[in-house]
Structure 1
Amino acid sequence: MTSIKHCFKQSLKLVSVSIIFAASVSTSSAYDRITGEPFATRSEVIAQNGMAATSQPLATQVALDILKAGGNAIDAAIAANAMLGLVEPTGCGIGGDLFAIVWDAETSKLYGLNASGRSPQSLTMEHFKEKGLDKIPKFGPLPVSVPGAVDGWFMLSERFGSKSMQELLAPSIQYAKEGFPVSELIAYYFEMNQKRIGDYPGFEETFTINGQTPRKGEIFRNPALAATYEKIATGGRDAFYKGDIARTIGAFMQEQGGFLSYEDMAAHYSDWIEPVSSNYRGYDVWELPPNGQGIAALQILNVLELYDLEGMGHDSAEYVHTFVEAKKLAFEDRAKFYADPNFNEIPVDWLISKEYAKQRQQLISPTQAAQRVDAGKNDGDTIYLTVADKFGNMVSLIQSNYRGMGSGMIPTDLGFVLQNRGEMFALQEGHFNKYEPNKRPFHTIIPAFVTRNNEPLMSFGVMGGGTQPQMHAQIIINMIDFGMNLQEAGDAPRILHSGSSTPEGDIMTDGGYISLESGFSQKTRRELMNKGHVLRDANGAFGGYQAILFDQKHQVYYGASESRKDGQAAGY
């Protein structure tokens, strides 16, 4: 498979790939590739009957086992997410939230799910004022909001699933009891999170082996999580939100001086929502509307569609500069407008319109980096997974605790950490995202989907907090404008702009800074500095990608996974 550009323009007709000779391979490559781009880590995975791409190989295998046992993509995605909550608790778990986009083959339609939780009803703005806080703390009891993931599982299963929750959670329960070998990157993040939240009650008992976080290859067990999963499998959704689990969470949070209560858990509900899209060079890119940040990717693409990116080239100062300036514009709107739509009138249709993009594009200088950008008028770790089945269903699912392992609040003997997503609320009066009781916070985690002529083409996502809209846009640009295939689009060096406004403020006043991965040339870096950009190195901040592409002509799936993390794409 060559690229979305060729796939789309030739109705996914496969074309031959030119051989890249050793002389053209970068000296930084570990080996010479025979085909494809020299920076690619491997070729795409191709299979007929099903495909799964997750951020941990054991979770990918669980998904494939479900597919092979007759389950569909929705079943497999739930099973994989549960498995990731065990094997990758450094990025996800049932203490966090979930968003999904589902292509349902039976109705030939996309469905969006917002399974994010709300703030505690008893916590008010006055409490933060009394404490003299101008920001919500990163850790501890105050940033905790209701975890929505489990309700998300049952919403997905009841509408689209074919297997029981007992069947879907059985693999994770077995692994939690018997243990699994910890993979390299997750071992690293375990150690990092111990430094952040290791002193909170329950961390040592739940996530260490004799007081030390598990090392690479060490067998780790989580019997408490196994017991929690068993209660959910047999007792259903209400076992989590209205049973002993909810009571344990409420009692623990009260002991810790928190506000999340049993009543908050019992009142939770998720929402089916309509995905929104923008057409980029003839192809419909789909995201979910706020309280998430997905439409920022659409805003970036709308502005960049006005430029000849292919003519600029990937490794060029002109492209990087134009991309960064478009990102700045989108993120100022993100800071001002993106919030819980039940509390604000958010002009989504206007923000993702072509007319608005043309207006905003006029603010971009081709030669000078913007140091201040106003919003228009009228960091965290995550997991992303995608699954496709032989029936034609595809799922794009993302789930997170927010800052790695979340708040540090580990309810007694439950085996998981509660999220700290409430940290994203602003404490400024008049802000769209200001803290209010029973309100959903601004969210960074976003699934994505691409269709062509109302047919499914690609489900994808890129983990990585506020970097996600930038990386979504780059994946699309890499494939459509720069002719990369599914794996190459994720392996290609990435651009990250940081330091502009956050959901707590709506004006960028210092221009921020750019971090470029090592594949960009020194010439490009020098020219960017001449345009007034500040360059700064970053390590591990460029996100984690998984994707599945459907080839209509040959009726096969292509899978790709992130080379920067422990993930795997596999099919059968």
Structure 2
Amino acid sequence: MVSSANPLASLAGVDVLRAGGNAMDAAIAAMAVLGVVESLNLGLGGDCFALYAPGGGSEIIAYNGSGRAPAAAQADWYRSRGFAEIPAAGPHGVTVPGAVEAWDRLAADHGTCGLDELLRPAIHYADEGYPVHDVIASWWPADVEKLRADPEAARILLWDGQPPAAGTIHRQPDLAQTLRRIGRERSAGFYTGPVADSIVRHLRAKGGLHTLEDFAGHKGEYVTPISLDYRGYRVHECPPNGQGIAALIMLGILRDFDLSAFDPRGADRFHLAIEAGRLAIRDRDRLVGDPETAGDWRKLLEPVYLSSQRAKIDLACAAPPVPPASLPMGRDTCHVAVVDRDCNAVSLIASVFYNFGSGLVAPGTGVVLQNRGCGFVLTPHHPNEIGPRKRPLHTIIPALVSHAGRISHSLGVVGGHYQAWGHTQVVTNLVDYGYDVQEAIDAPRVFHNGANVELEPGLAPEVRTELTRRQHRVVDVSETSMGRLGGGQLIAIDWEKGTLAGAADRRLDGCALGY
């Protein structure tokens, strides 16, 4: 089974499985297709993280495919030029993209197919075209001005200066050529040679600090996953520089509350989630960054510390304000969940951060460049302060859930800051309330965005009234710039029946497909 945010990607993954490929092969093929058909969300110019459970066992393999800042990226360089933050648009937010290296490494180490074979569906859609799906078409207009500012981005991603409408056939032949080169030369075809040369020249022409050496030297890495027990289920996340630790903190705070005693769509349940989430995001922003330079974030999962945070929650009233989340509010990500015939399970996530990332496209390559670097801060001595070859704090997080020593779920929820909240809400939907996989993904969501509590449609009016009475500042999602709270994919393994159950979020264009 494959679940993704677009039916063309899900179908590509299923085709790989039916042809004999394994879960890692299918996940990479599906993600590469998403990089074409949802290029505002992800692509060759973005980053990725992966969790992989061979045979569905609880020994989890994690890969950090996030890129680094240029070697010349000294914080004082930005401060001396009057930067108060790293800009979201333009060259300074561009870190070296990590996705291509990660796909290459994961396919070589854990797949059964060559990268050239896995990229064929993406090449087909880039060359022959794909129909722009409804949700993606509805987001595209918000970034017209950003795309117009870069002639190459405007040439490829706008038609006569306007975004393509839903149902329009969109082709990206330059991107197809880059994908072919990667298929032939593997990651070297991206990080060295003409593609890297075009990217670096474009960035430097815009004032960036990037060099060919920054690209040629890029490597992702295998990392040790982090996990936490939640009522007999173990939730596995990638460690920092991702924010998976925030999801574990939230679950660790909530596990001593009897959530099953509360209405799953009631104010009590959401009040507790809001309060736990505010504490978790405060700690994320305070201590999480590149693990090579950040502080001791491991203490955040210690039982004594979690108990101390739990004691700060008053069921009757919101706590005083905590510092707002410092990370910019990029929300554009894609996740793929896959389980194959041997119960190998993959949770793979990728992103260019904001819609169309930095708004820059390297000439002749079709590569939309991410803006993950705007996740850095310029506060001196902060763990997430920008620095040479550092990786920024990331919002994107894959997850796997195990029970009794075997994987029970492959899970991902997209949506920037919301992702840690999404993991928490979906897991509690499954474990505390017994929702099936589609119910768990589709249920109305609540999110504290640093200032306000966002409520999705579908909750009773009394929920808003009661949360307001408890001193929360509540707004409807339709009143925010987001227009939705994330998306998500989920596959459950029923080991007794020998079956899979899949779900894809109604908030997106995708579907779960299996056979």
How many angstroms apart in 2 are the aligned matches of 1:327 and 1:277? 17
Q: Secondary structure at the match of 2:92?
A: coil
Report sequence identity in percent: 40
Q: Deviations over 1:48-72 (max 9, x none)?
A: xxx0000011011111111111111
8 Å contact from structure 1 (residues 115, 271) kept in 2: yes
8 Å contact from structure 1 (residues 197, 407) kept in 2: no
Matched, 1:144 2:87: no
Q: Which residue of 1 aligns with 2:271?
A: 321
Q: Secondary structure at the match of 2:208?
A: coil
How many angstroms apart in 2 are the aligned matches of 1:131 and 1:368? 44
How many angstroms apart in 1 are the aligned matches of 2:339 and 2:434? 24
Q: Equivalences for 1:48-447 in 2 at 5 Å?
A: 51-105=1-55, 109-348=59-298, 350-373=299-322, 379-380=329-330, 381-447=332-398
Matched, 1:520 2:459: yes
8 Å contact from structure 1 (residues 185, 565) kept in 2: yes
Determine which of 493, 501, 508 is the counterpart of 1:565. Answer: 508
How many angstroms apart in 2 are the aligned matches of 1:374 and 1:86? 38
Q: Which residue of 2 aligns with 1:532?
A: 471
How many angstroms apart in 2 are the aligned matches of 1:430 and 1:285? 32
How many angstroms apart in 2 are the aligned matches of 1:126 and 1:311? 53
Matched, 1:498 2:449: yes
Quote how far apart the aligned CAs of 1:429 are: 0.6
Residue 276 to residue 108, structure 1, CA distance change in 2 (3 Å): closer
How many angstroms apart in 2 are the aligned matches of 1:361 and 1:170? 50
How many angstroms apart in 1 are the aligned matches of 2:418 and 2:369? 23
8 Å contact from structure 1 (residues 385, 461) kept in 2: yes
Quote how far apart the aligned CAs of 1:485 are: 0.5
How many angstroms apart in 1 are the aligned matches of 2:132 and 2:514? 23
Q: Secondary structure at the match of 1:465?
A: coil
More off after superposition, 187-196 vs 64-73: 187-196
Q: Secondary structure at the match of 2:362?
A: coil
8 Å contact from structure 1 (residues 249, 261) kept in 2: no
Q: Secondary structure at the match of 2:30?
A: helix
How many angstroms apart in 1 are the aligned matches of 2:146 and 2:445? 28
Quote how far apart the aligned CAs of 1:483 are: 1.6
Amino acid at match of 2:420: P
Amino acid at match of 2:360: M
Q: Secondary structure at the match of 1:196?
A: helix
Residue 479 to residue 108, structure 1, CA distance change in 2 (3 Å): closer
How many angstroms apart in 2 are the aligned matches of 1:153 and 1:526? 47
Quote how far apart the aligned CAs of 1:526 are: 1.0
Residue 452 to residue 519, structure 1, CA distance change in 2 (3 Å): same
Q: Secondary structure at the match of 1:205?
A: helix
8 Å contact from structure 1 (residues 90, 193) kept in 2: no
Quote how far apart the aligned CAs of 1:107 are: 7.4
Quote how far apart the aligned CAs of 1:177 are: 1.1
More off after superposition, 124-133 vs 75-84: 124-133
**Over aligned residues, Cα RMSD in angstroms?**
1.4
Amino acid at match of 1:430: H
How many angstroms apart in 2 are the aligned matches of 1:106 and 1:445? 23
Determine which of 420, 425, 429 is the counterpart of 1:474. Answer: 425
Q: Deviations over 1:93-138 (max 9, x none)?
A: 1101000000112976210000000001112222212221111111
How many angstroms apart in 2 are the aligned matches of 1:92 and 1:276? 25
Residue 458 to residue 281, structure 1, CA distance change in 2 (3 Å): same
Q: Secondary structure at the match of 2:368?
A: coil
8 Å contact from structure 1 (residues 313, 482) kept in 2: no
Amino acid at match of 2:86: I
Quote how far apart the aligned CAs of 1:557 are: 1.0
Computing the radius of gyration from Cα coordinates, the structure with the larger value is 1
Point out the structure with the larger helix share: 2
Q: Deviations over 1:191-231 (max 9, x none)?
A: 22223332213112111234322111111100000000000
5+ residue gaps in structure 2? Answer: none
8 Å contact from structure 1 (residues 194, 213) kept in 2: yes
Quote how far apart the aligned CAs of 1:456 are: 1.1
How many pairs were matched up? 506
Q: Secondary structure at the match of 1:417?
A: strand
Q: Secondary structure at the match of 1:548?
A: strand
Amino acid at match of 1:514: V
8 Å contact from structure 1 (residues 54, 546) kept in 2: yes
Q: TM-score scaled to structure 1, two decimals?
A: 0.87
Q: Which residue of 2 aligns with 1:554?
A: 497
Q: Deviations over 1:395-452 (max 9, x none)?
A: 1010000011100121111112111000011101121111111100000000001001
